[in-house]
Structure 1
Amino acid sequence: MIGVCIPAHDEAALIDACLDSVCAAAAQVQEPVRIVVVADACRDATAALARTWGCDVVEIGARCVGTARAVGMDHLVGLGARWLCCTDADSRVPPQWITAQLACASDAVCGTIGVEDWHEHPLHVAQAFASHYQDRNGHRHIHGANLGVSSAAYRRAGGFAPLVAHEDVRLVEALLAQQATVAWVRDPRVITSARCIARAPEGFAAWLQARWHTGGGVPAGAALT
């Protein structure tokens, strides 16, 4: 069985588009796919909407993306998932998302992201993203919105840490420390939002806000993982 973990905090506006894309990707897989949405401190209809898609829904009050991912992954591992896919509730995956991860035959897969709608930002923000981003195979970006890992490797690495930011980076670092094989692939790309209001501190939205206030430059110490 394949598992898909989606943490969500007040994502009622975007969760339908996310789950529509994930279900389309699941339909391409020749084995069962179980999707879990971890509704973390949600005050809106996120959990109810996820249930209409037939997803497993786990409601928590941690307000911590690392904890939400860990809870969802533990849920899927407990159900017997052999491969674990991660994305975010404000993202849309392509139809070949799961099958392409499996075809890599690696312990983990780190994919890329893209943005289709930059309307909330001035032009220099999109330009900064395009100039900084390694849009190629062999990149070294790490995104919770486009990540896959075998259940065995995930357990050996100790799983997601309960961090409010960079839990995805810490997991990949732990995988590499365990000598896991990691595929750094350009495709399939996941489309994510460029919204201004961040759900997680120091995440993608925060990176974009930093570009806004610095005129597109990259401040010392700042990096888009």
Structure 2
Amino acid sequence: MIGILIPAHNEEERLDDCLRAALRAATHAMLAGEQVEILIVLDSCTDRSAEIVSRYPVLALSINARNVGLARAIGAQRLLERGARWISCSDADSRVADDWLVAQLGLGVDAVCGTLTVEHWHDSIDEAAQIRYHHHYQACDGHRHIHGANLGISAQAYKRAGGFQALACDEDVHLVRQLERSGASIAWSHRPQVVTSARLDSRARGGFGDYLRQLAQSE
């Protein structure tokens, strides 16, 4: 079984699009009918996120941690217990491509670090900041970006690396560094595509939204 893991904290505005995209990826013909389970970890949600998730054929788990690392760790453990051989991670404000799972699995490695495409730049991120972003961001194979919104790991490699840690941010970076230390084969690929929001009200301090905010504030 393939598991899709998506943590969510008050994401009612973006969850529908996120879940529809994940379900399309889960039924791609090139998966040859392999079972895919989508797990949404609802962390300290006070909005309509749980209600929205209940409308879809996905699994849901509610916690009260306000910690994305712990949310991912708990979710990954649940998927492993259910028999996942591969865990694909994304975020609730992002949309995975229809062939996202196929692209990750087709690389034949222990872990895949994919790229992000920003959609609908926020009004407060001016053209100069967008230029700075594109100048520094490597949207190509061989990049060295690490995003929890586009990360795939085999179950065996995940266990060897010790799994996600209960970090408030950079839990994805920590896991990839542990994967490197454990000798896992890692593809830094542009093939698995994920579109994400350019919002500045980031849910995790130090995450992608904070990075965009820093760009917008730079001279």
Query: Is the pair's TM-score, using the shorter chain for normalization, greater than 0.5?
Result: yes
- Rounded to whole Å, the distance in 2 between the matches of 1:43 and 1:37 is 15
The CA distance in 1 between the partners of 2:168 and 2:131, in whole Å, is 28
Q: Map residues 42-191 of structure 1 onto 2, 5 A cutoff.
A: 42-120=45-123, 121-191=125-195
Provide the C-alpha distance between the structure 2 equivalents of 1:125 and 1:75, rounded to a whole number of angstroms.
Answer: 40
Superposed displacement of residue 214, structure 1? 1.2
Aligned to 1:223: none
**Structure 2 residue 24 is the aligned partner of structure 1 residue 24:** yes
Q: How many positions carry a matched residue from both structures?
A: 215
TM-score (norm 1): 0.94
Q: Aligned partners of 1:175 and 1:117: how far apart in 2? A: 33
Q: TM-score, normalised by structure 2?
A: 0.96
Aligned partner of 1:36 among 29, 36, 39: 39
Question: What's the % identity of the aligned pairs?
Answer: 46
Q: Give the gaps of 5 or more residues in structure 2.
A: none
Structure-2 separation of matches of 1:47 and 1:184? 33
* C-alpha displacement of 1:15: 0.5
CA shift, 1:123, in A, is: 1.5
Q: Deviations over 1:164-195 (max 9, x none)?
A: 00000000000000000001101222100010
User: Displacement, 1:212?
Assistant: 1.3
**Does residue 197 of the first structure (1) align with residue 197 of the second (2)?**
no
* Deviation string, structure 1 residues 145-175 (Cα, Å, up to 9, x no partner): 0000001110111100100000000000000
Q: State the alpha-carbon separation in 2 of the partners of residues 124 and 60 from structure 1.
A: 40
How much has 1:126 moved relative to structure 2?
1.3
Matched residues in 2 for 1:12 and 1:197: separation? 14
CA distance in 2, matches of 1:72, 1:55: 13
The one-letter code sitting in structure 1 at the alignment partner of 2:205 is: P
For 1:51-105, what per-residue CA distance to the aligned partner results, in whole angstroms no more than 9, with x for missing partners? 2111111000100100011111011000000000000000001010001111111
CA RMSD of aligned residues (A): 0.8
Question: How far off is 1:119 after superposition?
Answer: 3.2
* Counterpart residue type for residue 83 of structure 2: G
Q: Partners in 1 of 2:176 and 2:9 — Cα distance?
A: 23
Amino acid at match of 2:36: V
Q: Is the 8 A contact 2:26 2:101 kept in 1?
A: yes
Query: Which residue type is aligned with residue 205 of structure 1?
Result: G
Offset of 1:125 from its aligned partner?
2.0
Any runs of at least 4 consecutive aligned residues in structure 1 with deviations exceeding 2 A, and if so which?
none
Shift of 1:40: 0.3
Distance 1:161 1:122 in 2: 35
Residue 9 of structure 1 and its aligned partner are, at CA, apart by: 0.2
